[in-house]
Structure 1
Amino acid sequence: MTGADPLAGIEAGVHRAAEALKRLQREDGHWVFELEADATIPAEYILLRQHLAEPDDLVLERRIGNYLRRIQGAHGGWPLFHGGAFDISASVKAYFALKMIGDSTGAPHMVRAREAILAAGGAGASNVFTRILLALYGEVPWKSVPNMPVEMVLLPRWFPVHLSKMSYWARTVLVPLLVLQAKQVRARNPRGVTIQELFLPKTRRGQRQLSHRKAGWALFFNGLDAVLKGAEPLWPRNARERAIAWCENFVRERLNGEDGLGAIYPAMANSVMMFDALGYGEDHPDRAIARHSIEKLLVIREAQDEAYCQPCVSPVWDTALTCHALLEAGEATHAKSVERGLRWLKPLQELELRGDWAEEHPDLRPGGWAFQYRNGHYPDVDDTAVVVMAIDRARSRLGLEGFDEAVSRGAEWTAGMQSRNGGWGAFDADNDHGYLNNIPFADHGALLDPPTVDVSGRCVGMLAQLGEAPDSPRMRAAVEYLRRDQEVDGSWFGRWGVNYIYGTWSALCGLAAAGLGPEDTAVARGAEWLLSIQNSDGGWGEGCESYRLDYRGYETAPSNPCQTAWALLGLMAAGRVDDPAVERGVTWLLRAQDETGLWDQEVYTGGGFPRVFYLRYHGYARFFPLWAMARFRNLRRSNTQLPAWGL
Structure 2
Amino acid sequence: MEPDGGLDNACERARKWILDRGGVTSIPSWGKTWLAILGIFEWSGCNPMPPEFWLLPSYFPVHPAKMMCYCRIVYMPMSYLYGKKFVGTITPLIQQLREELHVEPYNEINWSTKRHLCAKEDLHYPHTLLQILLWDGLYTFSEPLLNRWPCNKLREKALKVTMDHIHYEDESSRYITIGCVEKTLCMLACWVEDPNGIHFKKHLARVVDYLWLAEDGMKMQSFGSQVWDASFFLQALLASNLSDEIGPTLKKGHDFLKNSQVS
Query: Above 0.5 in TM-score?
Result: yes
Matches within 5 A, 1:134-533: 134-188=35-89, 192-193=93-94, 194-196=96-98, 197-201=100-104, 205=114, 207-208=117-118, 210-213=123-126, 215-226=128-139, 227-234=141-148, 236-256=151-171, 259-281=174-196, 284-301=197-214, 304=215, 306-324=217-235, 330=240, 332=242, 335-336=246-247, 339-340=250-251, 343-344=254-255, 347=258, 373-376=260-263
Q: 1:145 to 1:342 in 2, by over 3 A?
A: same
Describe the SS at the equivalent of 2:3: coil
User: Which position in structure 1 is the counterpart of 2:21?
Assistant: 120
Structure with greater Cα Rg: 1
Q: Give the deviation of 1:264 after TM superposition.
A: 1.7
> Would the aligned equivalents of 1:118 and 1:200 in 2 still touch at CA under 8 Å?
yes
Describe the SS at the equivalent of 2:76: helix
> Would the aligned equivalents of 1:136 and 1:187 in 2 still touch at CA under 8 Å?
yes
CA distance in 2, matches of 1:305, 1:160: 47
Describe the SS at the equivalent of 1:254: helix
Q: Identity, % of aligned pairs? A: 18
CA distance in 1, matches of 2:180, 2:226: 16
Structure of greater relative contact order (alpha carbons < 8 Å, 6+ residues apart): 2
Deviations 1:119-168 (A, max 9, x none): 33321111111111100111111011110111211011233321122111
User: Which position in structure 2 is the counterpart of 1:544?
Assistant: none
Runs of 5+ in structure 1 lacking a partner? 1-102, 349-372, 377-647
Q: 1:242 to 1:229 in 2, by over 3 A?
A: closer
Letter in 2 for 1:178: S
Q: Give the deviation of 1:270 after TM superposition.
A: 1.7
Q: Give the deviation of 1:230 after TM superposition.
A: 4.1
> Would the aligned equivalents of 1:118 and 1:198 in 2 still touch at CA under 8 Å?
yes
User: Which position in structure 1 is the counterpart of 2:11?
Assistant: 110
> Would the aligned equivalents of 1:173 and 1:267 in 2 still touch at CA under 8 Å?
yes
Letter in 1 for 2:26: A
Aligned residue pairs total 245
Describe the SS at the equivalent of 1:200: coil
> Would the aligned equivalents of 2:36 and 2:42 in 1 still touch at CA under 8 Å?
yes
Deviations 1:408-447 (A, max 9, x none): xxxxxxxxxxxxxxxxxxxxxxxxxxxxxxxxxxxxxxxx
Q: What is the TM-score with the length of structure 1 in the denominator? A: 0.34
Letter in 2 for 1:218: Q
Describe the SS at the equivalent of 2:87: coil
Describe the SS at the equivalent of 1:307: strand
Letter in 2 for 1:110: C
Runs of 5+ in structure 2 lacking a partner? none
CA distance in 2, matches of 1:214, 1:117: 22
Q: 1:327 to 1:218 in 2, by over 3 A?
A: same
Deviations 1:591-624 (A, max 9, x none): xxxxxxxxxxxxxxxxxxxxxxxxxxxxxxxxxx
Letter in 1 for 2:229: D
Q: 1:154 to 1:244 in 2, by over 3 A?
A: same
Deviations 1:301-321 (A, max 9, x none): 4xx461111124443223223
Q: Give the deviation of 1:265 after TM superposition.
A: 1.6
Q: 1:338 to 1:256 in 2, by over 3 A?
A: farther
| Greater share of helix | 2
> Would the aligned equivalents of 1:256 and 1:263 in 2 still touch at CA under 8 Å?
no
Letter in 2 for 1:106: D
CA distance in 2, matches of 1:324, 1:203: 60
Letter in 2 for 1:233: N
Aligned-pair Cα RMSD in Å: 3.2
CA distance in 2, matches of 1:203, 1:119: 19
> Would the aligned equivalents of 2:77 and 2:185 in 1 still touch at CA under 8 Å?
yes
> Would the aligned equivalents of 2:194 and 2:200 in 1 still touch at CA under 8 Å?
no
Q: Give the deviation of 1:225 after TM superposition.
A: 3.6
> Would the aligned equivalents of 1:143 and 1:229 in 2 still touch at CA under 8 Å?
no
Q: Give the deviation of 1:233 after TM superposition.
A: 2.7
Deviations 1:214-248 (A, max 9, x none): 63433432333433344443462322222122122
CA distance in 2, matches of 1:125, 1:147: 17
Letter in 1 for 2:164: N
Describe the SS at the equivalent of 1:192: helix
Deviations 1:336-382 (A, max 9, x none): 4762365236647xxxxxxxxxxxxxxxxxxxxxxxx3443xxxxxx
